[in-house]
């Protein structure tokens, strides 16, 4: 019984961490275009320049930075 409570708390903490670590939506589908050195979202068309993958949704309709 104690093990189940510990596991439940661990899963809850993991979900909290993932929520704070990434601000992507379910629809975010980032694809890397290596030849152009950028990332492009196949859902909304947003673009991010750089080698590191995006960690926030850049959909212009959401009004994010």
User: Would residue 39 count as lying in a domain?
Assistant: yes
User: Would residue 53 count as lying in a domain?
Assistant: yes
Give the pTM: 0.52
Per-residue pLDDT band for 64 (boundaries 50, 70, 90) equals very low
Write out the chain in H/E/C secondary structure. CHHHHHHHHHHHHHHHHHHHHCECCCCCCEEEECCCCEEEECCCCCEEECCCCCCECCCCCCCCC
Q: In total, how many domains does the chain have?
A: 1
Contact 16, 50 (CB under 8 A): no
Structure tokens at 38: 């950028």
User: Would residue 15 count as lying in a domain?
Assistant: no
Q: Domain of residue 30: give its range.
A: 25-65
The residue-averaged pLDDT of 49-54 equals: 83
User: Would residue 16 count as lying in a domain?
Assistant: no
CA pair distance 56, 48, nearest whole angstrom: 10
User: Would residue 2 count as lying in a domain?
Assistant: no
User: Would residue 11 count as lying in a domain?
Assistant: no
Structure tokens at 20: 């704070």
């Amino acid at each position: 019984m104690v093990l189940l409570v510990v596991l439940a708390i661990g899963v809850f903490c993991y979900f909290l961490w993932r929520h704070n670590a990434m601000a992507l939506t379910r629809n975010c589908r980032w694809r890397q275009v290596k030849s152009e050195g950028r990332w492009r979202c196949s859902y909304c068309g947003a673009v991010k320049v750089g080698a590191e993958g995006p960690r926030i949704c850049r959909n212009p309709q959401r009004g994010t930075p």
